[in-house]
């Protein structure tokens, strides 16, 4: 097995992935009316699980603890729109499919 990646490389990789999904890290003191944040342990757990699957965080003994230390003094603002461009309540890292013509059932006519 190769050597574990450097902490700064891993932090850059993780932060870059978050930005690509549309997340923003802001100071914990900043106030943004009508904006949504990841504030629950459950929401953070799901995000860490996703990040472990797409970044080198999977090589860490405790990725959740490392991620909490990375976020120290900041909170995660959810993107205003899903990266797919579709209107959905799905998390930014979840794949979504557009509903419409591809989903319609075919009707037989006589």
Query: Is the residue at 98 inside a domain?
Result: no
* Spatial contact of 74 and 18, defined as CB atoms under 8 Å apart: no
pTM here is: 0.74
**pLDDT tens-digit profile of 78-100?**
888 878 777 777 788 878 877 76
In a domain, 99, yes or no: no
Cβ-based burial of 84 (10 A; exposed 0-12, middle 13-18, buried ≥19): middle
- The domain total for the chain is 1
Give domain status of residue 91, yes or no. Answer: no
- pLDDT tens figures, 25-74: 999 888 877 778 888 899 999 999 999 999 999 999 999 999 999 999 99
Range of the domain at 37: 11-79
Does residue 85 lie in a domain region? no
Q: How far apart, in Å, are the Cα atoms of 55 and each of 15, 50, 64, 84, 99?
A: 10, 9, 13, 20, 30
Residue 104 has pLDDT above 60, yes or no: no
Predicted local distance difference test score (pLDDT) of residue 100: 66
User: Beta strands of 21-109 (E only): which ranges?
Assistant: 24-27, 37-38, 74-77
Residue 41 lies in a domain: yes
Domain membership of residue 88 (yes or no) is no
pLDDT of residue 86: 77
Look at residue 1 and tell me whether its pLDDT is greater than 50.
Answer: no
Helix (H, G, I), strand (E, B) or coil at 27: strand
Give 5's pLDDT tier (boundaries 50, 70, 90). low
């Amino acid at each position: 097995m190769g050597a574990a990646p450097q902490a700064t490389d891993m932090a850059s990789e993780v932060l870059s992935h978050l930005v690509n999904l549309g997340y923003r890290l802001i100071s914990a003191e900043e106030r943004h009316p009508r904006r949504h944040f990841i504030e629950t342990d459950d929401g953070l757990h799901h995000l860490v699980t996703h990040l472990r699957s797409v970044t080198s965080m999977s090589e860490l003994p405790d990725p959740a603890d490392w991620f909490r230390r990375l976020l120290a003094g900041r909170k995660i603002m959810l993107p205003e729109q899903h990266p797919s461009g579709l209107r959905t309540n799905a998390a930014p890292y979840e794949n979504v499919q557009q509903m419409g013509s591809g989903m319609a059932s075919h009707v037989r006519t006589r």
